[in-house]
């Protein structure tokens, strides 16, 4: 079979992939011809094959817990929706969609809701992700246009990353920025309260106090004004300046007051301002550290103000650049997936409503914005929305205050969930579960961060009865009596309609014009090359507003919240390098699981000491919303008073790490985006009597310990454990059947049991204090059968007798090299550079995502 050219299903970089179905495991390679990645992939993309398994897939429609035919399930959804609209009005129904749907799926769902059901209650997880950037673009430019492309990163002299951990979250783009620095001396500044891997690689890291970005950016703009860097000619032609704008900016003060407000060294602030003055070719890349804030829209507008006022926009290497998270966050914005827009970048103006009514021949075009995500779930909870259909997202994990979301889901009279996976924390509440085709099976288009539309093409057939999302929605629409409007033969039909709508009576009012594809044939769609719409936006200095000018937005400087007495710490949350959101896919990959095998809470040593917490302890992180358990990791990477936790763990994998339950549901007033990065919190050492881990070929039916986090291994499972009471009876339940050998040392509170079968390790349970447990790697290797089988005595010790094994967390997920092995090699061979490590161990020589960590180990060896 030939390779199929498709696009990665993870982040918004939108890397091209060559995929081939094969005996055993599919083959995945970077597409050397795709302009987004030119052959590169990060660890997540490179390990996609491991996630393409029928295991855990939802194979058939399920109605009230029982398998049902498609016809019955679709008929039920259509009947219930029609009845709900008839009895309670269109606004009693809601859709909650996702940036992981294809453009064609999104288009059809949006059309059904906004054109036919007649409500705009269709929102998406992009509300949690990009909506502040969207609102800021609309305020500044008149339309949601990202005025940058990846080649701007190649041409910039200064790249400022604000609130972005691109080294982990957009690795291929980050590598591209580093390559540009090699080639042309680009300077890189990172603005993030944490010293992330991205910050490690920067020329300058501004570890500002959380929530003070406006003070920094406005301070820079005030400085530009004082030093003559504001482009008055550009402003006169292209930018409207509202009354009072400059006085609002001047409030930020001189570099010293900025430094004080942001808790930064004045010299660092001045160095940043100097770099900005010297290097007009500036790209400011921003992501969730800006968007996910109760001041997200103003923060994003502060960045747009800076670029507009200095004329650093619409020119090569100069642009503000909101990078998107999900593979099709942009496509969703284009078709109108957000409740606050209609379709094809049209707002709810009466002309637009009328235009859509004509184009769709639609009976009920929504005439006002619908409920935004957080409000939509509140409306479900209090009964205003009585039927909800969730597609391709897991809100029971990913919305703020997820406990409240769960009670809303539990109360919803009729909940439909379309997902590829059978059991998710959300689908647990569903009355109807619909099996969706997954990546590798689905067929359509996605738009990446730089407005480039690429094809996702199938190379596998869907398992069971799984069907594409667009088909599912169209079948429901047909059963509701709108068959003519939803008579699509395939994604090409839908794409063409979307393209025609973008061009329909546009007259240049909307920059989103895909007219070039209006006459695309089916064959043309099948062969479509990645293409970017919009070219270099705003190169002519004209903006899609009534007077053709962009707008500066005045704002008051942010004042950081004073810590609360009961909740003295600030909880920040974000992503790990090798996991994707709620782990439904990356959690299937043994290689990806081992970089960060557990949900850690990163704590500054001073805060840990004050709470009597040591490295490896179990910590109860509490907020006014809820509490959850995490493993302590002491760090000097952020200031005291701050905490950092990952977002990935769910009920499926763990009893702890439940970040979604903890976050507070406060939102930005303009965009409705939640302020995920700052929740007041408190920590305490969790009362447990023992810690331990299980390495076993099979997973016990019930684990039942206070804390349990499982990860998949090549030949079984690793479960990290902690509990109270006598561990011995609990051990009974955990271990597989077979011949047991036990070593019990009550005095040292140690219990170790291994199970053997035909000379091979079947399972090992090691219980003790955190520091007394051996590294997991060697036992994992024994289970996989990679190494020669050892003796029971060695299994009990967790290591070959007499040797000290290389172990520790997985550093390089591409070549499976652990941190210890790298550290050992550095010491033994006196390695001095990342390249030397790469040529000896291959670590770091593929996707590059682990290079900052290798560099840190090199530094440690040198020091
Ligand atoms: N590995 C991996 N990659 C992913 C994803 C994934 O799940 N896993 N998800 C994708 C998605 S959907 C998204 S949206 C992107 C997100 O990509 P990013 O936005 O880069 O990732 P986050 O980890 O959410 O947060 C970024 C940084 O914001 C910082 N931050 C917190 N508060 C502040 C503040 O007040 N000011 C500033 N300046 N910074 C602050 C945090 O410390 C954090 O390092 O990643 C995409 N890529
Ligand atoms: N505390 C905190 N919370 C956050 C964030 C944060 O930084 N901090 N970040 C927020 C952000 S930016 C985002 S984007 C969200 C992400 O949060 P979610 O969207 O909830 O996360 P996923 O785990 O990606 O959920 C996608 C679901 O869709 C399914 N799926 C995948 N492909 C398809 C498909 O083609 N069709 C269908 N029907 N289903 C499919 C998957 O199996 C999975 O169950 O989390 C948000 N929540
Ligand atoms: S950077 Fe990684 S996750 Fe993002 S699209 Fe490329 S391969 Fe996929
Ligand atoms: Mo996102």
pLDDT for 440-483, tens place per residue?
999 999 999 999 999 999 999 999 999 999 999 999 999 999 99
Euclidean distance between CA atoms 807 and 819, whole angstroms: 7
Average pLDDT over residues 38-47: 96
Average pLDDT over residues 136-153: 98
The residue among 118, 138, 128 whose CA lies nearest residue 96 is 128
Average pLDDT over residues 518-537: 96
pLDDT for 364-395, tens place per residue?
999 999 999 999 999 999 999 999 999 999 99
| Per-residue confidence (pLDDT) for residue 45, from 0 to 100 | 97
| Per-residue confidence (pLDDT) for residue 808, from 0 to 100 | 65
247: part of which helix (H) or strand (E)?
A: helix 245-250
Residue 801's pLDDT band, with cuts at 50, 70 and 90, is confident
SS3 category, 7: strand
Confirm if 19 and 28 have CB atoms less than 8 A apart: yes
723: part of which helix (H) or strand (E)?
A: strand 716-723
| Per-residue confidence (pLDDT) for residue 550, from 0 to 100 | 98
Residue 238's pLDDT band, with cuts at 50, 70 and 90, is very high
Percentage of the chain exceeding pLDDT 90:
82
Euclidean distance between CA atoms 73 and 582, whole angstroms: 26
Percentage of the chain exceeding pLDDT 70:
99
Mutate to test the pocket of ligand 1, among 15, 165, 285, 586 (most ligand atoms within 8 A of CB): 165
The residue among 12, 110, 148, 17 whose CA lies nearest residue 455 is 17
pLDDT for 570-618, tens place per residue?
999 999 999 999 999 999 998 898 889 999 999 999 999 999 999 999 9
The model carries a pTM of: 0.94
Residue 245 has pLDDT above 70, yes or no: yes
Average pLDDT over residues 627-634: 97
Q: Over the range 598-625, which residues count as b (16 or more CB within 10 Å of their CB) and which as e?
A: bbbbbbbeebbeebebeeebbbbbbbeb
Residues with a CB atom less than 6 Å from ligand 3: 8, 10-11, 13-15, 37, 41-42, 44-45, 170-172
Residue 862's pLDDT band, with cuts at 50, 70 and 90, is low
Q: Strands of 598-715 (E only): list them.
A: 600-603, 618-622, 627-634, 642-646, 679-685, 690-696, 707-713
Residue 188 has pLDDT above 70, yes or no: yes
pLDDT for 58-116, tens place per residue?
999 999 999 999 999 999 999 999 999 999 999 999 999 999 999 999 999 999 999 99
Q: Which ligand is nearest to the CA of 207?
A: 1
Tell me if 852 CB under 6 Å of ligand 1.
Answer: no
Q: What is the mean pLDDT of the chain?
A: 94
Residue owning the nearest CA to atom 28 of ligand 2:
392
| Per-residue confidence (pLDDT) for residue 23, from 0 to 100 | 87
Of the given ranges (104-113, 161-170, 326-335, 551-560), which has the lowest mean pLDDT?
A: 551-560
Q: 102: number of CA atoms within 13 Å, CB side?
A: 31
| Per-residue confidence (pLDDT) for residue 821, from 0 to 100 | 86
H runs (alpha helix) in 458-512 = 469-477, 491-503
Mutate to test the pocket of ligand 3, among 41, 50, 586 (most ligand atoms within 8 A of CB): 41
| Per-residue confidence (pLDDT) for residue 731, from 0 to 100 | 87
Residues with a CB atom less than 6 Å from ligand 2: 98, 100, 125, 128-129, 288, 292, 325-326, 391-395, 397-398, 418-421, 424, 436, 438, 442, 469, 573-574, 581-582, 584, 647, 659-660, 663, 676
SS3 category, 38: coil
The residue among 121, 225, 287 whose CA lies nearest residue 673 is 287
Q: Supply φ then ψ for residue 489, to 5 degrees.
A: -85, -25
User: DSSP class of residue 17?
Assistant: E
Q: Over the range 248-283, which residues count as b (16 or more CB within 10 Å of their CB) and which as e?
A: bbeebbebebbbebbebeeebbebbbebbbebbbbb
Tell me if 444 CB under 6 Å of ligand 1.
Answer: no
The residue among 116, 819, 142 whose CA lies nearest residue 542 is 142
**Tokens read off for 690:** 């023992």
Tell me if 642 CB under 6 Å of ligand 1.
Answer: no
Residue 804 has pLDDT above 70, yes or no: no
Residue 749's pLDDT band, with cuts at 50, 70 and 90, is confident
């Amino acid at each position: 079979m030939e390779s199929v050219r498709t696009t990665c299903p993870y982040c918004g970089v939108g890397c091209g992939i060559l995929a081939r179905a094969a005996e055993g495991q599919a083959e995945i390679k970077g597409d050397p011809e795709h302009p987004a990645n030119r052959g590169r992939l990060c660890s997540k993309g490179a390990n996609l094959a491991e996630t393409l398994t029928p295991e855990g897939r939802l194979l058939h429609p399920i109605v009230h817990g029982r398998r049902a035919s498609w016809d019955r399930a679709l008929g039920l959804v259509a009947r219930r929706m029609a009845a709900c609209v008839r009895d309670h009005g269109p606004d009693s129904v809601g859709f909650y969609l996702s940036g992981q749907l294809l453009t064609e799926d999104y288009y059809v769902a949006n059309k059904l809701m906004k054109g036919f059901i007649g409500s705009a209650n269709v929102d998406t997880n992009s509300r949690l992700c990009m909506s502040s950037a969207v609102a800021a673009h609309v305020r500044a430019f008149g339309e949601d246009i990202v005025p940058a492309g990846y080649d701007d990163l190649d041409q910039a002299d200064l790249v400022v990353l604000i609130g972005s951990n691109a080294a982990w979250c957009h690795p291929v783009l980050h590598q591209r920025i580093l390559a540009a620095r090699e080639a042309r001396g680009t300077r890189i500044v990172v603005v993030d309260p944490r010293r992330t891997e991205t910050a490690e690689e920067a020329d300058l890291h501004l570890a500002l106090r959380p929530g003070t970005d406006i003070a920094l950016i406005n301070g820079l703009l005030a400085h530009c004004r004082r030093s003559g860097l504001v482009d008055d000619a550009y402003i006169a032609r292209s930018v409207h300046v509202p009354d009072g704008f400059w006085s609002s900016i001047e409030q930020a003060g001189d570099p010293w007051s900025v430094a004080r407000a942001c808790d930064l060294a004045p010299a660092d602030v001045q160095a940043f301002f100097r770099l900005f003055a010297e290097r007009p070719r500036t790209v400011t890349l921003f992501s969730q550290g800006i968007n996910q804030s109760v001041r997200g829209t103003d923060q994003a507008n502060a960045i747009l103000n800076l670029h507009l006022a200095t004329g650093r926009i619409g020119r090569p290497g100069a642009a503000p650049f909101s990078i998107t998270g999900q593979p099709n966050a942009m496509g969703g914005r284009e078709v109108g997936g957000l409740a606050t827009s209609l379709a094809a970048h049209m707002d709810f103006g009466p002309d637009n409503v009328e235009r859509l009514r004509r184009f769709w021949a639609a009976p009920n075009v929504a005439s006002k914005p619908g409920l935004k995500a957080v409000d939509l779930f509140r409306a479900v909870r209090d009964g205003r929305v009585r039927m909800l259909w969730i597609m391709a997202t897991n809100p029971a994990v990913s919305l703020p205050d997820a406990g409240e979301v769960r009670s809303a889901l539990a109360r919803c009279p009729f909940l439909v969930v379309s997902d590829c996976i059978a059991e998710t924390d959300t689908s647990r509440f569903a009355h109807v579960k619909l099996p969706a085709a997954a990546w590798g099976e689905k067929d359509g288009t996605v738009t990446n961060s730089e407005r480039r539309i690429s094809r996702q093409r199938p190379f596998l057939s869907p398992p069971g009865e799984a069907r594409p999302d667009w088909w599912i929605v169209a079948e429901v629409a047909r059963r509701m009596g709108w068959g003519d409007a939803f008579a699509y033969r395939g994604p090409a039909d839908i794409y063409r309609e979307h393209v025609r709508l973008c061009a329909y009576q546009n007259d240049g009012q909307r920059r989103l014009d895909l007219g070039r594809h209006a006459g695309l044939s089916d064959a043309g769609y099948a062969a479509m090359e990645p293409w970017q719409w919009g070219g270099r936006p705003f190169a002519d200095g004209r903006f899609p507003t009534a007077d053709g000018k962009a707008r500066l937005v005045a704002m008051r400087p942010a004042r950081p919240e004073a810590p609360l007495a009961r909740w003295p710490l600030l909880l920040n949350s974000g992503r790990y390098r090798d996991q994707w959101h709620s782990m439904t896919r990356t959690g299937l990959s043994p290689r990806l699981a081992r970089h960060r095998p557990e949900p850690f809470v990163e704590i500054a040593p001073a805060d840990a000491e004050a709470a009597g917490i040591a490295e490896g302890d179990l910590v109860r992180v509490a907020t006014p919303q809820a509490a959850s358990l995490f493993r302590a990791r002491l760090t000097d990477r952020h200031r005291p008073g701050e905490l950092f936790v990952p977002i990935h763990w769910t009920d499926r994998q763990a009893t702890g790490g439940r970040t979604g339950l903890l976050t507070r549901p406060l939102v930005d007033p303009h965009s409705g985006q939640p302020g995920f990065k700052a929740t007041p919190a408190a920590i305490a050492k969790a009362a447990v009597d023992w810690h331990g881990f299980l390495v076993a070929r099979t997973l016990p039916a019930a684990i039942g310990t206070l804390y349990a986090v499982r990860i998949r291994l090549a030949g079984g499972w690793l479960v990290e454990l902690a509990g109270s009471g006598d561990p011995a009876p609990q051990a009974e339940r955990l271990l597989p059947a077979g011949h047991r050998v036990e070593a019990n040392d009550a005095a040292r509170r140690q219990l170790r049991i291994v199970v053997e079968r035909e000379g091979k390790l079947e399972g090992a349970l090691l219980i003790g204090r955190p520091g007394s447990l051996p590294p997991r790697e060697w036992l994992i290797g024994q289970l996989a059968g990679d190494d020669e089988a050892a003796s029971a005595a060695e299994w009990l010790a967790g290591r070959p007798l007499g040797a000290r094994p290389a172990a520790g967390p997985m550093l390089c997920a591409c070549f499976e090299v652990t941190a210890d092995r790298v550290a050992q090699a550095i010491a033994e061979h006196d390695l001095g550079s990342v390249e030397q490590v790469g040529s000896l161990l291959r670590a770091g020589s593929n996707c590059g995502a682990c290079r900052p960590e290798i560099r840190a180990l090199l530094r440690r060896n040198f020091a």
